[in-house]
Structure 1
Amino acid sequence: MFTALLPPGTPFEIRASPGRRLGVFATKDIPAKSCIFREEALFVIKRPFNMIGPEDVDAAYRQLDSRKQALFKSLVEYERHQEGQKHFFPQVEAFKRNQFDVSGQMHDYDQPIPHAQGLFLISSRLNHSCIPNAVFPRIQPKTGHGYRPAVLLALRPIAIGEEILFDYDPAHAYLTAKQRRAVPYWKFTCTCAACDDNYPQRVESDMRRALLRGLHYLIHRRDVPECSRLKPPVLQNATSGRPDPNTIAMWQAISGYIAEAEGLAMLAIYFFYEALKIMISVSGSTAASNRGLKLAVVWGEKFLAISETLHPDAVEGVGAVEQLMAVFKSMIDGKT
């Protein structure tokens, strides 16, 4: 059923993936920064993921035309066949295993995010990797019905025959391989290179991810929300106050360098952007030293350098960073 969904000229195919079920594999060399595909949701349910029940999926199904109903039935039968369990609720389980968050807003610790989950037939065939070669941008243009489509972008060159993979959960960036295997709610065992016991850089990879989690704790005074669900939690919320903004900016930038070294480009530019936001907030105060402003320019240059390696739709804030760097440079000139 999935092959029939692919438009002509698609640079990939859907076939069996070793050790998994189906996967998406490149049928031609895909350059870095390429848009691999764009897919609209089969349907959208405007409820939080953990509150969606059979009645919600059934109501959405009844609103589909006959062609889309047939596609969803095929997906349900595929999931039923793969599951082979007696107590399997086909429609709601098929939806939950193939849905994506389509709220279209960036993750924000301090503000609620509207909930909407969309069902994607092609995107749902992609498998996970903790060091992915593709990404779904967090900010994407909205469609006519108000929800963002699934747009998959290449993070690096993908060779013909290579499986196309993305990171299912941003919390993976903060966990060691052993911790990732222990998370109960992911319901799968990752077999990517970073989780392989024979991975040459396994020790360094685990150390970088542990450092990212520790720095997150120092910056936000609490554990990464997704990681705090580990039982027992590794870190408790801090009771003391936050350090000064310059220190936090430095920790954000260090996180950016660590994420870049780990091959997590999207996370790296996020950290550098956060560091720059802090520096502009203190730039008008006496806390803005000449040295601090020069560091901010270096971080901005790093943000732009990493952004150059990515598809333009994957990066938000390039223009804002360029403006910030101009401000910082003018302030440096004024202080010398």
Structure 2
Amino acid sequence: MSRVLVTGGCGFIGSHLCLALRSAGHAVRVLDDLSSGSEENLAPGAELILGDVADPATASLVMEGVDLCFHLAAIASVERGALDWLGTHRANLTGAITVMDAARARRIPVIYASSAAIYGDAATLPITEDTPPRPLSAYGADKLGCELHARAAGVVHGIPTLGLRFFNVFGPRQDPRSPYSGVISIFCDRLSRGEAVTIHGDGSQTRDFVPVAQVVAALLAAPRAASVMAPVVNVCTGQATSVRMLAEMLEQACGARGAIRHGPPRSGEIRHSIGSPARAGELLGLGAPPDLRDGLGEVLAWLKAGRPGLSPRPVLTPATG
């Protein structure tokens, strides 16, 4: 059994990962400031330390006795990055450097979340790991910065890392009321309540929607591929789904009729973002992703059940020292 640190472990992806780690028998410590995560999402038996991931003393404290770190804490909002550029930079890039710096004393491997946002509006599809990065947002720029600092962590300090470039992740516990939520959680919530949804533009823009179960599988497989060479892999399906197709699938699943509206296109929106999962298959041994319809059904079932979390009574430990 290992002791594993998960930053952002009360968030959407982090909570699913922690549950999988606990189910595998690992001791789990979570660092979260609960700015977007919820105490109810804490996996049963996990320890929660409330604190700031960008604070060096806190990062050093939570790294004590740890064998492996999954760094998922971030402000995953392009809009928030535009409104609070400096604040999101501190959480997203300073936070990542702080975690890596705390890991270097014992050379603890760090598996960290990157993002397809580093690619921006890619000129060719599918997007591979060799596609030139050209981020169009502060969030994407910070995630690219995380990758560059991970390489420095390996070259200078000998810290093994691996970065996972998440595409459009969806699944249960992605709060549709949150400004960080994706289109699937928002569409599922509104259509399940009989409300209309608005598509910006004609709906032909496409995305690579990744079930959270596939993301967790990638995270669990990542430690064996971590190295001081700082590899990065796409976490995607390679399957293109238009926003219009998505809305129609959910409209049918919810028994809605005439619930799709169209609004003006969003300025600067990326038209197509489809990744290649080939390298993830080679390095992580990932198989075919679950069917999109099955994943949508899980989200709708979670909403119908009242959006349950995982544990109503987390173990709370304040960050001190």
TM-score (norm 2): 0.25
Which has more radius of gyration?
1
More helix by share: 1
More strand by share: 2
* Bigger RCO (CA 8 Å, 6+ sep): 2
